[in-house]
Amino acid sequence: MELKFLDSKSSSLSEKAALVARTKSSPFSSFEHSVGVKFSQEFSSCRVFTKASYLSSKGTFMPKRAISSVDKEKTAAENYFYQISTNGAGSSLFSRNVGVFDACDDEYGGVVVDPDRLPVNPDAFAPMLQFSLSHWKMKGKKGIWLKLPLERSELVPVAVKEGFEYHHAERGYVMLTYWIPEGPCMLPSNATHQVGVGGFVINDKNEVLVVQEKFYAPSFADLWKIPTGFILESEEIYTGAVREVKEETGVDTEFVEVIAFRHAHNLDFDKSDLFFVCMLKPLSAQIKVDNLEIQAAKWMPFVEFVAQPLIQEDGLFKKIIDICLARLGKHYCGLLPRQVVSKFDGRPSCLYYNVLDTGNVNCNGN
């Protein structure tokens, strides 16, 4: 059994009437024309052709060169008849109004589907997706971005069946992509990095603000460490460091500089990791521990902090401490954020760099 699309403009009224007449005597006369419905076992499965066909005046099916004249994707729609041919059992004809998904073009020749304007009826999604893909191919589009909200998760397997691939997922949606041109896909991959920050806070008594976490590997059971955490979406590095220290210890701080950062690979979920060590100046002293993540927090003498075996035995920790000491001795300058605007996108962003005044050996962050 085959399912073919018939352009309502391509066949004559007499041909349609003849097909409709045959439909009334067909075993499918009560069939609701939704793609994907299961037939009884006495019939073979229905095959859906993604390319539309039309019925010529000679009664043969020919491939359709173009999907009529659709000028605007938001309002494009065609009446198509579905020609279902069974094994020697005649044909059935059904009609459905198929439109192109509401979408906008991106700056790279692709299409971004509007997730808020998806068809309400799930049964309409598959034929509309097929029609849209055919339309976008005709228009020479490249990458298709399809964002499916959590409440429309039943549409995910339908899109995957049509050739869409997973790109990334967040708490409330999954993003799928489809690459139209021949050759390798040129769409950007999912985010490759996670970004963490650590706050090195030292007071006038030469004490370091340290914490012990509630959840840790057994080898870190006795370690006192600086407050650390991941920055939030759209959060600056320096504000993330101040926030993490406040959340974990209750201590207010002021950002001074980024004194170093580490780049590591193949960590959680095979992602790479950027970790920024920030020097902060304490604005308060009272500690209020975050009971969700932190077991304990305190002000620890600097000499005791660096004397911990785990720090002395770890090359990374030891090097970070050496850099912090150099910064405290004003022999090293870190990176300060400065707001700049690029003409490429017109948006403000932070550029981190240091500027050493040759007339002053002290860092600008002092």
Q: What is the mean pLDDT of residues 243-259?
A: 97
pLDDT at 131 over 60: yes
Do 331 and 303 meet the contact criterion of CB atoms below 8 Å apart? no
103-179 and 193-353 agree in CATH topology: no
Pick from 66-70, 140-144, 162-166, 330-334: least confident: 66-70
Q: For the chain, what is the total number of helices (H) and then of strands (E)? A: 7, 19
46 backbone dihedrals φ, ψ, rounded to 5°: -90, 130
CA distance 283 to 286: 10
Question: For 274-327, what is each residue's pLDDT tens digit?
Answer: 999 999 999 999 999 988 999 999 999 999 999 999 888 888 888 998 998 899
Do 289 and 249 meet the contact criterion of CB atoms below 8 Å apart? yes
**Which carries the bigger pLDDT value, residue 222 or residue 230?**
230
Show me where the domains of the chain are located. Answer: 103-179, 193-353
Do 232 and 240 meet the contact criterion of CB atoms below 8 Å apart? yes
Architecture (CATH level 2) of domain 103-179: 3-Layer(aba) Sandwich (3.40)
**Which carries the bigger pLDDT value, residue 187 or residue 269?**
187
**pLDDT value of position 314:** 86
pLDDT at 270 over 50: yes
**pLDDT value of position 248:** 97
Local structure of 265: helix, strand or coil: coil
pLDDT at 188 over 70: yes
**pLDDT value of position 216:** 81
pLDDT at 45 over 50: no
CA distance 167 to 178: 10
pLDDT at 75 over 50: no
**pLDDT value of position 96:** 54
**pLDDT value of position 46:** 34
Question: Domain 193-353: which CATH class?
Answer: alpha beta
Give every CB contact of residue 329 below 8 A, 6+ residues apart in sequence.
none
Structure token digits, residue 256: 């001074």
Burial of 279 (0-12, 13-18, 19+ CB in 10 A): buried
